[in-house]
Amino acid sequence: MSDDSATASTIGYIGLGNMGAPMATRLLERPGTLVVCDTRPEATQPFTEAGALVAATPAEVAARATVISVTVLDDAQVRDVVVGPDGILPTARPGTVIAVHSTISDVTATELAETCRAKGVALVDAPVSGGAPGARQGRLAVMVGGSDEAFEAVREPFGYFAELVVHAGPVGAGTRMKLARNLLHFVSFTAACEAGRLAEAADLDVRALGKVVRHTDAITGGAGAIMLRDTTATVAPDDPWFSILSHVRNLGEKDLALALDLGDRFDVDLPLAARALTGLGPGLGVGAGTVADQSSHQKETA
């Protein structure tokens, strides 16, 4: 493949696994050329049949495409794909943008970006949220860390597999945002396990509880429903948010206290619920409420 064949309408995609394949499939709908690359011939075959070009190496992808998405396993594979002997950088034209969708270390992202910058190539970290179903539906969220110019270069093609494309900040910011998002995700999963243990001990149908949770989270937005302020600082009493968040705290503390009482009666340890009871109000920026204060006092005097 000759360097002269690279055009702005050509998109490259490297890594056609569980996430990469549906994301790249969405790009088949985009006008222009799609060049794909994977170490497994069976992964590239559906793309060949759909009219995409197949490259044997990342270097060959870079000879054709000026925006290249990378979705591989880990930091080591990302490094190999970007700066390895058969990687993107040796053949990439100045102005090329490499978008790493893999969740890697933000340090790896910034180091690779600096190496690429020396050759006039931009690297953005662009991890995604929404899983394979979101990729198939074109409904992913992409968190992009990079310059304004690089963000503008990727925003249009990303729109084929993402419903939300956010410019998180400079290189590394996309990964940091993904880690903060997944902290909430997996802490919530742990809390769901805790709730399941309580339900089971109380002789409830755990699967029915799951249906209720999914139904109501779809209505309320789940934990993200309170993430509306631009700061986590303490809320002043005269701030309009104070009454809203105080109301959330009061409801939460009441229900958490009742859940902890239920756990005590069924001998179920609920460490996340106990932590939430004391941490909800301060976390919301409005301080602990009456219920949390009473609970703390009871523990001190017990």
- pLDDT, tens digit, for every residue of 216-266? 999 999 999 999 999 999 999 999 999 999 999 999 999 999 999 999 999
Q: Check pLDDT > 90 for residue 64.
A: yes
Q: Sign (positive/negative) of CA torsion 168, 170, 174, 177?
A: negative
Number of domains in the chain: 2
| Claim to verify: residue 249 and residue 141 sit in the same structural domain | no
CATH of the domain at 236: 1.10.1040.10
CA distance 59 to 84: 9
Q: Considering only CA atoms, which of 106, 107, 62 is closest in space to residue 84? A: 62
Residue-wise pLDDT for 111-133, tens only, equals: 999 999 999 999 999 999 999 99
Same domain assignment for residues 155 and 40: yes
Q: Which of 119, 178, 211, 299 is catalytic?
A: 178
280, part of any domain:
yes
Q: Does residue 17 fall inside a structural domain?
A: yes
Residue 4 has pLDDT above 80, yes or no: no
Question: Is residue 195 domain-resident?
Answer: no
177, 203, 219 - which closes a domain = 177
Average pLDDT over residues 156-177: 97
Q: Any catalytic annotation for residue 178? A: yes
Q: Is the pTM of this model over 0.85?
A: yes
Domain contains 40: yes
What per-residue confidence (pLDDT) applies to 137?
Answer: 95
Residue 143 has pLDDT above 60, yes or no: yes
CA atoms within a 13 Å half-sphere pointing along the CA-CB vector of 277: 21
Q: 181 is written with which tokens?
A: 């998002």
Residues 172 and 244 in one domain: no
5-9, 187-191, 206-210, 215-219: range with lowest mean pLDDT:
5-9
7 lies in the same domain as 130: yes
The band of 292, judged by pLDDT with boundaries at 50, 70 and 90, is confident
**What residues make up the domain containing 125?**
3-177
Per-residue confidence (pLDDT) for residue 293, from 0 to 100: 67
How confident is the prediction for the chain on average, in pLDDT? Answer: 93
Task: Indicate if 115 and 253 belong to the same structural domain.
Answer: no
**Residue 90 parent element (H or E):** none
3-state helix, strand, coil in the chain (%, to 5): 55, 15, 30
Evaluate whether residue 211 is within a structural domain: no
Q: Are residues 287 and 144 in the same domain?
A: no
168 belongs to a structural domain: yes
The whole-angstrom separation of Cα 50 and Cα 37 is: 14
**Together in a domain, 42 and 129:** yes
